[in-house]
Amino acid sequence: MRVTLPIWVVVLVAIIMVVLVLMVWSLKRRKRPHIKLEEGDDASDLFLSIAGLTQSTLVEGNAIRLLENGTFFDELFADIEGAKESIHIESFLSKEGELTRRLTELLIQKRREGVHVRLLLDGSGGKEFGKDAIKRLGESKCTVAHYHPMTWRNLGRLNNRTHRKIGVIDGRIGYVGGHCFVDTWMGNAEDKKHFRDITARVEGPAVAQLQSAFSDNWVEECGEVFGGEVYFPELQRCGDMQAHVVFVSPTGAPSTMKILYYMAIRAAKKSITIQNPYFLPDPDAREALAEAVKRGVKVRVMIPSETASDSPLVQHASHHHFGTLLKVGVEMYEYQKTLLHQKVITIDSCWSAVGSTNFDDRSLEINDEVAIVIFGEEMASQLELIFERDKKHADKREFEQWKHRPALHKLRDFSSFLLNEQL
Arch. (CATH architecture) of 32-53+242-417: 2-Layer Sandwich (3.30)
Is pTM beyond 0.75 here?
yes
pLDDT of 422 higher than 60: no
pLDDT per residue as tens digits for the range 322-365: 889 999 999 999 999 999 999 999 999 999 999 999 998 888 88
pLDDT at 32: 63
Is 244 one of the catalytic residues? no
> Which are the contacts of 81, defined by CB distance < 8 A and separation ≥ 6?
106, 110
Is 341 one of the catalytic residues? yes
Q: What are the phi and psi torsion angles at 372 (to 5°)? A: -110, 135
Q: Report the C-alpha gap between 358 and 162 in whole angstroms.
A: 13
pLDDT at 26: 63
pLDDT of 126 higher than 90: yes
Domain 62-238 fold is: Endonuclease; Chain A (3.30.870)
Catalytic residue among 183, 216, 282, 348: 348
Q: Report the C-alpha gap between 261 and 162 in whole angstroms.
A: 19
pLDDT at 321: 86
- Lowest mean pLDDT across 100-104, 114-118, 151-155, 200-204: 151-155
Judge whether 32-53+242-417 and 62-238 match in fold: yes
One-letter identity of residue 295: R
Is 165 one of the catalytic residues? yes
**Mean per-residue pLDDT for 249-253?**
61
Catalytic residue among 244, 258, 341, 393: 341
- Mean of per-residue pLDDT scores for the chain: 89
Is 170 one of the catalytic residues? yes
Domain residue ranges of the chain, discontinuous segments joined by +: 32-53+242-417, 62-238
pLDDT at 42: 67
Catalytic residue among 148, 163, 320, 393: 163
**Beta-strand pair 351-355/369-375:** antiparallel
Is 282 one of the catalytic residues? no
- Lowest mean pLDDT across 26-35, 108-117, 173-182, 325-334: 26-35
pLDDT at 121: 97
Contact 323, 403 (CB under 8 A): yes
pLDDT at 245: 96
Catalytic residue among 146, 316, 343, 393: 343
Top mean-pLDDT range of 57-71, 253-267, 388-402: 57-71
pLDDT per residue as tens digits for the range 216-242: 999 999 999 999 999 999 999 999 999
3-state secondary structure the chain: CCCCCCHHHHHHHHHHHHHHHHHHHHHHCCCCCCCCCCCCCCHHHCHHHHHHHCCCCCEEEEEEEEEECCHHHHHHHHHHHCCCCEEEEEECCEECCHHHHHHHHHHHHHHHCCCEEEEEEECCCCCECCHHHHHHHHHCCCEEEEECCCCHHHHHHCCCCECCCEEEECCCEEEEECCCECHHHCCCCCCCCCCECEEEEEECCHHHHHHHHHHHHHHHHHCCCCCCCCCCCCCCCCCCEEEEEEEECCCCCCCHHHHHHHHHHHHCCCEEEEECCCECCCHHHHHHHHHHHHCCCEEEEEEECCCCCCCHHHHHHHHCCHHHHHHHCCEEEEECCCCECCEEEEECCCEEEEECCCECHHHHHHCEEEEEEEECHHHHHHHHHHHHHHHCCEEEECHHHHHCCCHHHHHHHHHHHCCCCCC
Catalytic residue among 79, 122, 170, 197: 170
pLDDT per residue as tens digits for the range 71-87: 999 999 999 999 999 99
Torsion of CA 232, 374, 31, 312, to 10 degrees: -100
Q: What are the phi and psi torsion angles at 27 (to 5°)? A: -70, -35
Q: Which residue has the higher pLDDT, 18 or 290?
A: 290
pLDDT at 41: 66
pLDDT of 290 higher than 60: yes
pLDDT at 307: 85
pLDDT of 54 higher than 90: no
Q: Report the C-alpha gap between 76 and 253 in whole angstroms.
A: 35
Burial 44-62 (b: 16+ CB within 10 A, else e): eebbeebbebbebebbebb
**Mean per-residue pLDDT for 147-172?**
82
The closest alpha carbon to 358, from 177, 196, 186, belongs to 177
pLDDT at 408: 80
pLDDT of 157 higher than 80: no
pLDDT per residue as tens digits for the range 397-419: 998 888 778 788 777 777 777 75
In the chain, % of residues over pLDDT 90: 65
pLDDT of 423 higher than 50: no
Cα angle 353-187-280, degrees, rounded to a multiple of 5: 40
Catalytic residue among 116, 165, 258, 393: 165
Q: Which residue has the higher pLDDT, 194 or 152?
A: 194
The closest alpha carbon to 265, from 291, 296, 246, belongs to 291
